[in-house]
Structure 1
Amino acid sequence: MRKQIVAGNWKMNKTVQESTQLADEIVSNVKDLSLNNTRVIIAPTFVNLSEVIKVTESSIVEVAAQNMHQAKSGAYTGEISAEMLTSLGLKTVILGHSERREYFGETDAILAEKVDAALANDLEVIFCFGEVLEDRKAGNHFNVVESQIKNGLFHLEATAWKNIVLAYEPVWAIGTGETASPEQAQEMHAFIRKIVADKYNQEVADNVSILYGGSVNPGNAKEIFSKQDVDGGLIGGAALKADSFISLVKSF
């Protein structure tokens, strides 16, 4: 049975003090919740990972990294390797976020290398992908999503997919206040599950969690998360306050 996941991507927000305070509030609020099949993940910036891990270590709240470099080590000033992440005790990394693709030039080929490096170090990957507004308006959104998934992930063996979480991000709905309708989200998620099944098999497709990321908030989460193929959310702005994030965790 695939897991439901609420993952908060804090992006370039929060000082170390603010991060530990937010993490502590989240830990305090989830400890009494009945979360039989729901994972709660938070992803602070690199410099705050160690302190946030300390706050969450005895709780069900998991900590993930927002990114990593594909090389094992070397002259890559400012970058972070998979081994550095696992040495902190991390088990999950977000790769391919639309902001990494747009602002930092991460291509499908680079992301395929990053995925391989993460899996080689026993890291679970939350793999992001999605179309921009022009693609949606042109009716090209399915082709874009299929291409990004194929190029980034379809070189993997079926067994590797136990460590893959998919995150569909309609880029036009990230931080804009615009949100794909629950029906649009379900339509795309069902399409994603089908192409995974066509490439591998139905079991792999049925077991992979597919998250929606695009201006999810306490007002729309319950309806979006209720859709058959939507297994949770990769949350941006609403993850930066404990009360809104916890309300999303309770939305299943």
Structure 2
Amino acid sequence: MRKKIVAGNWKMNLTLSQGEQLLNDIVNAGLKLEDDVAVVVAPPFPYLQKAKSILQHNPGFFVAAQNCASEKSGAYTGEVSAEMLKSIGVDYVILGHSERREYFNESNEILAKKVDLVLANGMKAIFCCGEPLAVRQAETQNEYVAKQLEESLFHLPAEALKDIVIAYEPIWAIGTGLTASAQQAQDMHAFIRAQVAKKYDRETALRLTILYGGSAKPGNAPELFACEDVDGGLIGGASLVAKDFAAIAQSF
């Protein structure tokens, strides 16, 4: 059975006290999580230890970092290594978010290095992939996403994919008010799963959790999560509102 995940990416938002209040509100929202459902929260780096201390005694809740360095250690001022994240109890690391790719020029090659470091340190990677509007309009989104998977993930052995979660982000639907239809999401998720089956095997593909990362909200999450190949969501803005995030987590 595939793990279902609702992951909240706070991005660069909230003060420490606001973040602490949000976490407590989420924990106290009365969520009833099935055994196959996990809630993952990804606050900014300075709040990770506080998040871990609040969530660690709540079954089904996990902490993610929003990024990590592509190097193991050394003279990289301002960077945070995978080993550092592991040492403070981080469970997941988000890699390749469209904002990191666009604003910080993260390439597929750089992301392959980050994936390796996250896995080597015993954490799980939430690997983001997805196409911009121009690619979607040209109807070449499948080729675009396949290249991201090939160059950043498909060097891994099949066994390693147990620690990989893929998040499909239609970039044109992030922060724009646009949302991919449930059918568009399902089509891409099915394509991603088929690519994994082609590269590895059907069993590996069926085990893989694939999240939708394009402006999911309480209003559309139930329809999205009902799709056969949509196993949850990577949530942006709605993760900053406890009642909305809680509602999404109960949308399976």
Task: Please tell me the TM-score bracket, short chain as reference.
Answer: over 0.9
Residue of structure 1 equivalent to 2:45? 46
Deviations 1:153-210 (A, max 9, x none): 0000001000000000000000111000000000000000001000000000000000
> How far is 1:36 from its partner?
2.2
Residue of structure 2 equivalent to 1:150? 150
Aligned residue type for 1:241: V
- Give the TM-score of the pair, scaled to structure 1: 0.98
Deviations 1:110-157 (A, max 9, x none): 000000111111110000010000000001100001000111000000
Q: What is the aligned residue count?
A: 251
Residue of structure 2 equivalent to 1:211? 211
What does residue range 1-252 of structure 1 map to in structure 2 within 5 Å?
1-30=1-30, 33-60=32-59, 61-252=61-252
* Matched position secondary structure for 1:29: coil
* Matched position secondary structure for 2:65: coil
Higher deviation after alignment, 242-251 or 55-64: 55-64
Whole-Å separation in 2 of the counterparts to 1:147 and 1:44: 29
Aligned residue type for 1:209: T
> How far is 1:54 from its partner?
1.1
Where in structure 2 are there 5+ consecutive unaligned residues?
Answer: none
Whole-Å separation in 1 of the counterparts to 2:229 and 2:69: 31
| Contact 2:41/2:63 (8 A) holds in 1 | yes
| Contact 2:33/2:250 (8 A) holds in 1 | no
Aligned residue type for 2:37: T
Whole-Å separation in 2 of the counterparts to 1:249 and 1:35: 10
Whole-Å separation in 2 of the counterparts to 1:202 and 1:114: 26
Aligned residue type for 2:102: E
Whole-Å separation in 1 of the counterparts to 2:190 and 2:64: 26
> How far is 1:99 from its partner?
0.3
Aligned residue type for 1:4: K
Whole-Å separation in 1 of the counterparts to 2:234 and 2:85: 20
- Give the TM-score of the pair, scaled to structure 2: 0.98
> How far is 1:55 from its partner?
1.1
* Matched position secondary structure for 1:64: strand
Whole-Å separation in 2 of the counterparts to 1:34 and 1:19: 22
| Contact 2:25/2:242 (8 A) holds in 1 | yes
| Contact 2:64/2:92 (8 A) holds in 1 | yes
Whole-Å separation in 2 of the counterparts to 1:67 and 1:217: 23
Percent identical residues: 55
> How far is 1:34 from its partner?
3.7
